[in-house]
């Protein structure tokens, strides 16, 4: 029998080497690994008293006193030594009741029953890929059902893997020259993920090789390249090719997908279904500033970073400081002569000491060798962002002074975040006024911070300007107060046209109706995936699926892809031509999403500028739902939600 891959690779390290490794690791995850090695009796023994006192976001070490941690490491060393001396046998499976106890112990609370199956699936303690689809259709029929996937970023690659496993022929069309989507395009200095990497990777493709807890862009792109290679997806991808239009043909129930390569050669592919995995954050948005065209130096968007431009010794102006600008400024400030940051709205941020930290050798040793350590560590990263943030985002209509907070929980978040900011800027009242946001916490995307942003702002060569921009001149950005800010280079860290969903192509559905014409200013999809009049057209990371309060887009995409594979199975098994959601289900979904979103801080009028909102202040991109609900709803498609043709 093959060994459960999560049981860890057997080892022969010395006691001293093991003890040294344990200094680095997450102590709570370590103790649960010990339960696998020594047996569940440990829970009633030493772990009954030796337990975390609380859980903080991305807290690797766990919140335990130093004394308890030392006792835990000593206990673990005994358990690991014994396990090593027994030859590192694969631990016996732990039963469901004990696993639930382990979860509760780890997160210091009773994990509600409805979450347990989702968490167990996410952890894959069985060693099996738990999100694969069990098909009812015949393999021979699936082999006659070609699918085109648009985009080879994180979600398109995932769809490709699942299609390949299903034996469904597929072609992926990718406009870029390589895999990774956002992680291919965003090469700006300082680009890194802000979801812990040991969770931000496919559930079925975890890895112990991350060099940092929040990896930088090259490592992330390398991860997706590695997965593409491992599954042999590359030969199915047409890189450097963009889809210009997709057209449904009712006569033969096919999609004609028009593509154009970088050298202008056009082609048309025929498919039975299309999966649009085009992302939400890749059409750069550059505001129109008077005189912008007259700027004589290099000017580029953060997602189109021009690496030929040397910044050393230059006066650099950066317009916009959201998630991208927040990472760029600390990365370039040391090199440039001066950096002027034009920020319209201050950002909320919360402390994360691991944000720029390397993964030490001890953690890597534990991830590789200790049974299920990596899986419990994944759980540890998942749980704090698993629906708790949503509660702090819900508006309490009774809460007074809605300009600064929308509920008690939200006010608490505001106080914690404010404390973190003021602890860094001290008594500098001018800087405080500039950097403490004047809208409720979590109203916009909240940023991870290790202090590098505010340290950067206090440098002598860095200036944070909150005065609005009036116009741009050939060598300067001029603010409304008439001040000229000299600039040799202009960086637009101004975000993306998020509300122009699927903007890179035209999609013609039944009777020639175009998707964007049908949407008007209400882009939506049933469960974020399907749209009436567009048979066999599925979206990943579609309208209403972005996450503002936790989770990870990889988790969401895995839910969506499983649902789509279920839909394809239904279609093929029933030998139907097409499926599209019922209009009433779609309308009801849209109404419920909007009703729910309107109760959140993301739609609140106190948040004036936010890419979550469209020009009318309406939110279409975000999911207002708990992860556990989305997971439940997308496990299996309900045939009753669809019209089959
Ligand atoms: P963003 O958050 O939309 O920030 C855009 C910045 O440009 C904001 O400071 C915005 O000001 C400013 N801006 C926009 N229009 C302006 C105007 N007309 N005048 C003056 N300023 C203007 O974009 P982003 O920083 O590229 O991030 C977008 C999303 O990408 C993030 O929320 C996140 O989902 C993702 N991202 C993730 C990471 C990561 O760490 N993994 C890194 C980068 C990006 P206002 O705030 O006033 O609108």
The pLDDT tens digits for 483-513 are 999 999 999 999 999 999 999 999 999 999 9
- Which pLDDT value is given to residue 389? 83
- Average of per-residue pLDDT across 609-620: 96
Q: Checking DSSP bridges between strand 299-301 and strand 489-492, what pairing results, if any? A: parallel
pLDDT tens digits, one per residue of 114-152: 999 999 999 999 999 999 989 999 999 999 999 999 999
Ligand 1 pocket, Cβ-based, cut-off 6 angstroms: 193-194, 281, 287, 302, 319-325, 327, 343-345, 445, 493-496, 609, 611
CA of 326 to the centre of ligand 1 (A): 9
- Which pLDDT value is given to residue 427? 83
- Which pLDDT value is given to residue 56? 57
Report the candidate in 618, 567, 615 with the shortest Cα–Cα distance to residue 591.
618
- Average of per-residue pLDDT across 600-623: 96
pLDDT tens digits, one per residue of 71-111: 999 999 999 999 999 999 999 999 999 999 999 999 888 99
Q: Over 60: is that where the pLDDT of 642 sits?
A: yes
Say if pTM beats, i.e. exceeds, 0.95: yes
For the CA of 447, the closest atom of ligand 1 is 40
- Average of per-residue pLDDT across 215-230: 98
CA of 282 to the centre of ligand 1 (A): 12
- Average of per-residue pLDDT across 379-408: 92
- Average of per-residue pLDDT across 28-47: 96
Mutate to test the pocket of ligand 1, among 192, 495, 496 (most ligand atoms within 8 A of CB): 495
Packing angle between helix 96-107 and helix 373-382, nearest 10 degrees?
60
> Quick check: 406 and 396 in contact, CB under 8 A?
yes
CA of 328 to the centre of ligand 1 (A): 12
pLDDT tens digits, one per residue of 383-392: 988 898 888 8
CA of 72 to the centre of ligand 1 (A): 43
CA distance 576 to 29: 48
Q: How far is CA 584 from the centre of its chain?
A: 31
Q: 81-90, 375-384, 572-581, 616-625: which range is least confident on average?
A: 375-384
Q: Over 70: is that where the pLDDT of 55 sits?
A: no
CA distance 144 to 167: 9
Residues constituting the chain: 645
CA distance 27 to 8: 17
Q: Extract the runs of DSSP E, i.e. beta strands, from 439-550.
A: 447-449, 462-465, 469-473, 476-479, 484-486, 489-492, 506-508, 537-539
b/e per residue 445-480 (b: at least 16 CB within 10 A)? bbbbbbbbbbebbeeeebebbeeebeebbeebbbbe
- Which pLDDT value is given to residue 60? 58
pLDDT tens digits, one per residue of 224-279: 999 999 999 999 999 999 999 999 999 999 999 999 999 999 999 999 999 999 99
- Which pLDDT value is given to residue 468? 98
Please name the residue whose Cα sits nearest to atom 17 of ligand 1.
Answer: 287
Report the number of secondary-structure helices (H) and strands (E) in the chain. 21, 21
> Quick check: 319 and 342 in contact, CB under 8 A?
yes
Q: How far is CA 72 from the centre of its chain?
A: 33
Please name the residue whose Cα sits nearest to atom 23 of ligand 1.
Answer: 495
313 burial type by CB count under 10 A (0-12 exposed, 13-18 middle, 19+ buried): exposed
């Amino acid at each position: 029998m093959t060994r459960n891959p999560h049981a860890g690779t057997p080892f022969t390290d010395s006691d001293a080497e093991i003890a040294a490794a344990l200094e680095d690791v997450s102590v709570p995850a370590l103790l649960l690994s010990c339960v696998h090695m020594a047996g569940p009796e440990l829970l009633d023994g030493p772990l009954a008293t030796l337990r975390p006192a609380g859980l903080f976001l991305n807290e690797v070490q766990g919140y335990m006193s130093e004394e308890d941690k030392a006792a835990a490491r000593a206990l673990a060393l005994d358990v690991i030594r014994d396990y090593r001396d027994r030859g590192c046998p694969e631990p016996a499976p732990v039963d469901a009741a004990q696993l639930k106890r382990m979860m509760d112990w780890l997160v210091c609370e009773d994990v509600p029953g409805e979450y347990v199956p989702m968490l167990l699936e996410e952890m894959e303690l069985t060693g099996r890929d738990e999100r694969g689809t069990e098909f009812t259709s015949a393999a021979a029929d699936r082999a006659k059902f070609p699918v085109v996937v648009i985009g080879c970023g994180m979600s398109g690659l995932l769809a490709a893997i699942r299609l390949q496993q299903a034996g469904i022929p597929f072609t992926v069309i990718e406009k870029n020259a390589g895999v990774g989507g956002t992680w291919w395009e965003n090469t700006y200095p300082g680009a890194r993920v802000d979801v812990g990497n040991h969770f931000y990777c496919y559930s079925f493709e975890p890895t112990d090789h991350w060099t940092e807890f929040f990896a930088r862009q090259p490592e992330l792109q390398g991860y997706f390249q590695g997965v593409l290679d491992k599954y042999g997806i590359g030969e199915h991808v047409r890189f450097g090719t963009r889809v210009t239009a997709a057209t449904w043909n009712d006569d033969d129930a096919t999609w004609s997908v028009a593509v154009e390569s970088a050298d202008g050669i056009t082609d048309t592919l025929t498919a039975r279904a299309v999966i649009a995995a085009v992302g939400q954050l890749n059409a750069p948005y550059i505001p129109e500033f008077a005189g912008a065209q007259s700027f004589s130096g290099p000017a580029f968007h953060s997602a189109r970073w021009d690496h030929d431009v040397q910044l050393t010794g230059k006066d650099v102006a950066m317009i916009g400081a959201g998630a991208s600008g927040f990472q760029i400024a600390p990365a370039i400030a040391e090199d440039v002569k001066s950096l002027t940051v034009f920020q319209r709205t201050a950002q909320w941020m919360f402390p994360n000491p691991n944000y720029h930290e390397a993964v030490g050798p001890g953690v890597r040793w534990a991830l590789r060798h200790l049974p299920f350590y990596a899986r419990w560590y994944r759980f540890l990263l998942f749980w704090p962002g698993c629906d708790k943030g949503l509660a702090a985002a819900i508006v309490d209509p009774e809460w007074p002074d809605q300009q600064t907070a929308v509920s008690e929980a939200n006010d608490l978040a505001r106080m914690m975040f404010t404390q973190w900011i003021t602890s860094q800027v001290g008594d500098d009242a001018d800087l405080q006024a500039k950097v403490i946001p004047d809208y409720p916490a979590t109203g916009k995307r909240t940023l991870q911070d290790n202090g590098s942003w505010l340290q950067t702002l206090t440098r002598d060569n860095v200036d944070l300007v909150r005065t609005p921009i009036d116009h741009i001149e050939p060598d300067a950005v001029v603010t409304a107060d008439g001040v000229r800010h000299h600039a040799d280079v202009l960086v637009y860290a101004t975000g993306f046209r998020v509300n122009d969903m699927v903007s890179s192509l035209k999609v013609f559905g039944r009777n020639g109706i175009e998707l964007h014409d049908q949407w008007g200013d209400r882009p939506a999809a049933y469960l974020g995936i399907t749209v009436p009049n567009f048979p066999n057209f599925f979206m990943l990371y579609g309208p209403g699926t972005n996450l503002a309060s936790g989770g990870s887009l990889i988790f969401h995409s895995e839910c969506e892809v499983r649902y789509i594979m279920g839909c394809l199975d239904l279609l093929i098994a029933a030998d139907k031509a097409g499926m599209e959601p019922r209009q009433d289900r779609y309308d009801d979904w849209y109404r419920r999403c909007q009703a729910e979103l309107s109760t959140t801080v993301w739609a609140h009028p106190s948040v004036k500028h936010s890419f979550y909102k469209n020009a009318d202040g309406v939110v279409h991109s975000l999911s207002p739902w708990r992860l556990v609900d989305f997971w439940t709803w997308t496990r299996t498609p309900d045939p009753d939600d669809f019209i089959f043709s």
